[in-house]
Amino acid sequence: MLIPDHETEVDYLNCQAISQTVVELLKDNRKHALTVGIHGDWGAGKSSILKMIEAELSLDEDVAVLWFNGWTFQGFDDAKTVLIENTITELCRQRSKIGKVKEKAAKLLKRVNLLKIAKLSSGVVFNVLTGLPSPAQIETVIDALQSLGQNAANIDASTAPAKLDEIAGLLKPAEDVDNLPETIHQFRKDFQDLLEEAKVKQLVVLIDDLDRCLPATAVQTLEAIRLFLFVPKSAFVIGADEAMIEYAVRQHFPDLPVASGPLPYARNYLEKLIQVPFRIPALGAQETRTYVTLLLVQSIVGEDHDGFDRLLQKAKDALKKPWLGTGLSQADIQDVDDNAKDDLNSAFVLAQQIAPILAEGTKGNPRQIKRFLNALLVRQVIAKARGFGDQIKQPVLAKLMLAERFQPDFYEHISMQAMSANDGKVSDLVVLEAGSQPEKPKEKAKGADKKGSKKEETTLPNETTKWLERDWLKRWLQLEPKLVNEDLRPYVFVARDKRLLTSA
């Protein structure tokens, strides 16, 4: 019933061009450190591109591919150390049987714990010595100390206030990392040794959902990449909306001037961290039509269907030159499955009808398109379950949902009229549908006088004609099917807007 709304390795949007370009770029720069940005709005397909990159790189035994989702780990620990620990731990898991990988990884993780204590000591030592430590702080310190082999087993958060001197003494290892530049240099050297030991020709870390993190988490993750992990043979591919990362930078460094030179500081910061940016383009009308068609067909026959695989390949070929407007034909859709021709034909017609306005309304965002289609399918199922599914026509429902989604005040207006009318028909649509049609060139009758040939103009109510001032609504009114003769009450009812129903 529902179209999956998550990242996928199946390419519906011809994004393989981006993923393959990134893979080639990584292969050509294996000896160097590299950061690549996959930029796009939320729902544009960044995670799917990262999945495609992961799938292709995983076939190469010389490459270690790791996945890191910053949003998943947010709030559990310091963002820098989480990324570093996750990278080392996952690399160790993948290459644990090679040489002394485990020993070298353990050495690096010990350094990470020293960094944790260095961070904690700046605030926690003061709290401990003044008698004001919080239980959460003490537990974090104890865990870090125990991982370093310190004897902190007899201390817990409840007994800590009575053992403040002992805790303060245990925090002394933090002095070993006072020389931060040397610590960073040594860490990077040890990390490079780990890659050599693991027989890794390139380490690729795919970082997803960074733009969903809080500003501090996003900035700390980027800093960890540049400070600790940015060594030869390492590459980072970061999927994020660059506007959100710039916002995070501005929030994290509020005292920065707005700009210096042609670019703002936030953009300069981002460009310093990400060497090669890729921007995912929004879908146009033709691409949206193909995308909607594929999603609807997939919901009918399933993703693992030979006919759908053939259709997907035809779609990819068509999307290579979308400006030609060839797209998928009705015959292509019907050839997918002989047993579902009627449903497939309906899907094709629906895609042709709603794609242009859906592309405009969603600004070509794939996730928003999926959500619209899922809402459409769910409402059809609800209508069927409530016993009036046979009164719901999919094209009519889709057209009304476009208005509901992108012109809510107009949708409310016609819904009120539909629920108030005895036959569920909207009288304003008679005027609006007629007034929205493009004017045809008129031929002047021979010998006709100007006054005599002038067509009598219909005077329309101001409250009705005001809707025709909106170009979007004009295009919507021109869409098939026409609604003037439709009983719209079942469609309004399936939306279950209690306020509208009560008012009517």
Query: Region 172-196: what's the mean pLDDT?
Result: 73
Find all residues with CB under 8 Å of 447, minimum gap 6, and list them: none
Query: Region 97-101: what's the mean pLDDT?
Result: 88
pLDDT band for 267, please (50, 70, 90 cuts).
confident
Residue 28 confidence (pLDDT): 94
Q: Is the pLDDT of residue 116 over 60?
A: yes
Beta-carbon count within 10 A of 428 CB? 18
* CA–CA gap between residue 98 and residue 60 (Å, rounded): 17
* CA–CA gap between residue 303 and residue 320 (Å, rounded): 22
More confident: 475 or 129: 475
Q: Is the pLDDT of residue 496 over 80?
A: no
Instruction: For residue range 211-236, list pLDDT tens digits in order.
Output: 888 888 888 888 888 888 889 999 99
What tokens appear for 492 in the block?
A: 């309004």
* Closest to 300 measured CA to CA, from 262, 358, 343: 343
Residue 174 confidence (pLDDT): 44
Q: Is the pLDDT of residue 454 over 60?
A: no
What is the chain's mean pLDDT, rounded? 80
Residue 403 confidence (pLDDT): 93
Percent of the chain clearing pLDDT 70 (strictly above): 77
Residue 135 confidence (pLDDT): 56
**Least confident piece of the model among 9-13, 52-56, 114-118, 214-218:** 114-118
What tokens appear for 169 in the block?
A: 């003494």
Residue 273 confidence (pLDDT): 84
With residue 68 as reference, give the H or E element that holds it. Answer: strand 63-69
What tokens appear for 212 in the block?
A: 């969903």
From the centroid of its chain, how far is CA 139?
A: 36
With residue 237 as reference, give the H or E element that holds it. Answer: strand 234-239
More confident: 270 or 369: 369
Residue 397 confidence (pLDDT): 93
Q: Is the pLDDT of residue 427 over 80?
A: yes
Is 34 in contact with 206 (CB distance < 8 Å)? no
* CA–CA gap between residue 348 and residue 159 (Å, rounded): 70
Q: Is the pLDDT of residue 149 over 90?
A: no
CA dihedral over 9, 13, 14, 17, signed as positive or negative: negative
Residue 42, helix vs strand vs coil: coil
User: Across 169-183, 406-420, 443-457, which has the greatest mean pLDDT?
Assistant: 406-420
Q: Is the pLDDT of residue 458 over 50?
A: no
Residue 414 confidence (pLDDT): 93
Residue entry with tokens 């350094």? 111
Residue 246: exposed, middle, or buried by beta-carbon count in 10 A (0-12, 13-18, 19+)? middle
Residue 206, helix vs strand vs coil: strand
Query: Region 42-50: what's the mean pLDDT?
Result: 89
Query: Region 144-168: what's the mean pLDDT?
Result: 51
> CA neighbours within 13 Å on the CB side: how many for 213?
31
Residue 131 confidence (pLDDT): 45
Q: What is the DSSP string of 162-183?
A: GGHHHHHHHTGGGGGG--HHHH
Output the 3-class SS for 437-457: CCCCCCCCCCCCCHHHHCCCC
Is 224 in contact with 83 (CB distance < 8 Å)? yes
Q: Is the pLDDT of residue 406 over 80?
A: yes
Residue 442 confidence (pLDDT): 55
Is 204 in contact with 26 (CB distance < 8 Å)? yes
Q: Output Rg (C-alpha) for the chain, integer angstroms.
A: 31
pLDDT band for 336, please (50, 70, 90 cuts).
very high
* CA–CA gap between residue 64 and residue 94 (Å, rounded): 8
pLDDT band for 265, please (50, 70, 90 cuts).
confident
Phi, psi at residue 123, to the nearest 5°?
A: -110, -35
More confident: 252 or 277: 277
Query: Region 74-83: what's the mean pLDDT?
Result: 73
Residue 260 confidence (pLDDT): 61
Is 316 in contact with 287 (CB distance < 8 Å)? no
Query: Region 415-419: what's the mean pLDDT?
Result: 92
What tokens appear for 431 in the block?
A: 């005027």
Residue 486 confidence (pLDDT): 94
Residue 306 confidence (pLDDT): 92
With residue 276 as reference, give the H or E element that holds it. Answer: strand 276-279
Residue 261 confidence (pLDDT): 62
Instruction: For residue range 268-322, list pLDDT tens digits in order.
Output: 777 888 899 999 988 888 889 999 999 999 889 988 899 999 999 999 888 877 7
327: left (phi over 0), alpha (psi -120 to 50) or beta: left
Is 344 in contact with 315 (CB distance < 8 Å)? no
Query: Region 45-73: what's the mean pLDDT?
Result: 90
* CA–CA gap between residue 382 and residue 493 (Å, rounded): 11
CA dihedral over 345, 346, 347, 349, signed as positive or negative: positive
pLDDT band for 502, please (50, 70, 90 cuts).
very low
CA dihedral over 24, 25, 29, 32, signed as positive or negative: negative
Q: What is the DSSP string of 13-68?
A: SSTHHHHHHHHHHHHHTTTS-EEEEEE--TTSSHHHHHHHHHHHHTT-TTEEEEEE
* CA–CA gap between residue 17 and residue 52 (Å, rounded): 10
Residue entry with tokens 């999919």? 394
Q: Is the pLDDT of residue 101 over 70?
A: yes
More confident: 326 or 236: 236
